Copies of this chain bind each other. A is one copy, B any other.
Amino acid sequence: MAESSLSLLTAIDALLEKKRYPALRDILISMNAVDLAALFNEVEDKALPFLFRLLPKELAAETFVEMDSDAQELLIRSFSDTELKDVVDELYVDDAVDLIEEMPANVVRRILRQADPDTRKVINELLKYPEDSAGSIMTTEFVTLRPKMTVEDAIKRIRRTGFDKETVNNCYITDDERHLLGAISLRTIILADEDALISDLMAHNVISANTLEDQETVAQTLAKYDLTALPVTDTENRLVGIVTIDDAMDVLQEEVTEDISKMAAVTPSDKPYLKTGTFEIWKNRVPWLLLLMVSATFTGMIITRFETALATHAVLTAFIPMLMDTGGNSGSQASVTVIRALSLGEVQFRELPRVIWKEFRVALLCGISLALVGFAKIMLVDKLMMGNQSITIAVTLIVCATLAVTVLVAKLVGCSLPILAKLVGFDPAVMASPFITTIVDALALLIYFRFTSVLFVSGL
């Protein structure tokens, strides 16, 4: 789409210049809201309100929702009150809430003034839920049925009230106090007998979330149980909203991007990479680099303590990068695997001993493999082929023993730190590669110099 949108942009510019509006409109209405929004995000500021006004009302609102917040703000500022009301009326409340959260205060006031009083009340309720909670991503526009209804009644009700619901594929059964009693899919209703009772058809043990539950947990629940909507209840089990699969997918994508950013020591940003300014990217990255740079003081101190040993056995220095990198890589292999398993819910805190035992065995195998291959490689390549005569058997043994022990230590630190972080309420992803690398680097050096003193002091 990136390539084609470029030529599309040129075509649209040309049509705009030649004032061929009907042709322009024909192109626009043949597109879907998502592609239109991507296009509108790219057009020049002054052309945007003009192009937007060419769209029919419903498509305009759908496109508006998909646009980025800068373009949305620009449009709202160009809208008359009536135009703004048209768009706001077409928005689902959860989209209206998302919009309001991105807009500056004066724009928010204008939006709320145009919303009808009921919608305004709902929006204000939804705005109260904490960021990243189920309440903050749910919609309040869903279909409710009563247990005593027949299928015929239910279809009538869906036909009467379904138009402004975000989905009618899943309907929820409540009592007079809005307590959640059951759920039924439109499929079940359509395929059932007209006289059948909803209470006989509905599912009783409905999986639901609480309004304050974390949005990531909610999204994972939808994924795990293959649901297309999840009911959200308040503390008294009253149905207050539903989270739909499209929002859950967005949450999962966002959370993955966040996890990946944190693993690479970057503060997550909710903007696409190319839309994020240089200064903002710098702000998201430099504190971590500074922190990790300063924490590398320890490795420097360790080396300084062993300066004399390194000066007499200069060859030892050449292996430091390899030992540190191998340690770091072994550690991140374990940590990243465990972090992903944690976020998929495959591993819980109580499984820490199992994880450690598994990593212990893997680390033994990896450590021994690396030590053996390392030994052969150093003796054959570095010593024989490259002719580095300062490499002795003693040095090679030190390096290989360090390799084996470092891999073991790195994997154990790598697998346990994320789980422990989660236990004390830290983000496991932040514990990933960079921090573990720093810790493992220091440990690798300590192990290296320990072996060095033991072997050289013992007179080998």
Contact = CB atoms under 8 A, between A and B. Distances in A.
Given A187-B186, A274-B351, A330 B362 contact: no
Given A252-B252, A340-B261, A362-B281, A325 B374 contact: no
Given A30-B205, A288-B329, A341-B272, A370 B293 contact: yes
A278 B9 CA distance: 54
Contacts of A346: 272-274
B265 A329 contact: yes
B296 A321 contact: yes
A333 interface: yes
B169 A186 contact: yes
A431 to B, nearest CB: 13
Contact of A441 (B257, B288, B307, B325): B325
Interface residues of A, number: 118
B32 A441 contact: no
Overall SS of chain A's interface? helix
Given A317-B307, A336-B261, A190 B373 contact: no
Interface in A276-303: 278-279, 281-282, 285-286, 288-290, 292-294, 296-297, 299-301, 303
Contacts of A261: 336-337, 340
A333 B276 CA distance: 14
A162 interface: yes
A176 to B, nearest CB: 26
Interface of A: 2-3, 30-32, 34, 155, 158-159, 162-163, 167-169, 186-187, 190-191, 205, 207, 222-226, 228, 245-246, 249-250, 252-253, 256-257, 259-261, 263-266, 272-274, 278-279, 281-282, 285-286, 288-290, 292-294, 296-297, 299-301, 303-304, 307, 310-311, 314-315, 317-322, 324-326, 328-330, 332-333, 335-338, 340-341, 344, 346-348, 350-351, 354-355, 358, 361-362, 365-366, 369-370, 373-374, 377, 381-382, 386, 388, 403, 407, 433-434, 437-438, 441, 445
Q: Which 8 A-B pairs have the closest CB atoms?
A: A264-B336, A296-B322, A299-B321, A226-B246, A273-B341, A282-B365, A300-B318, A303-B318
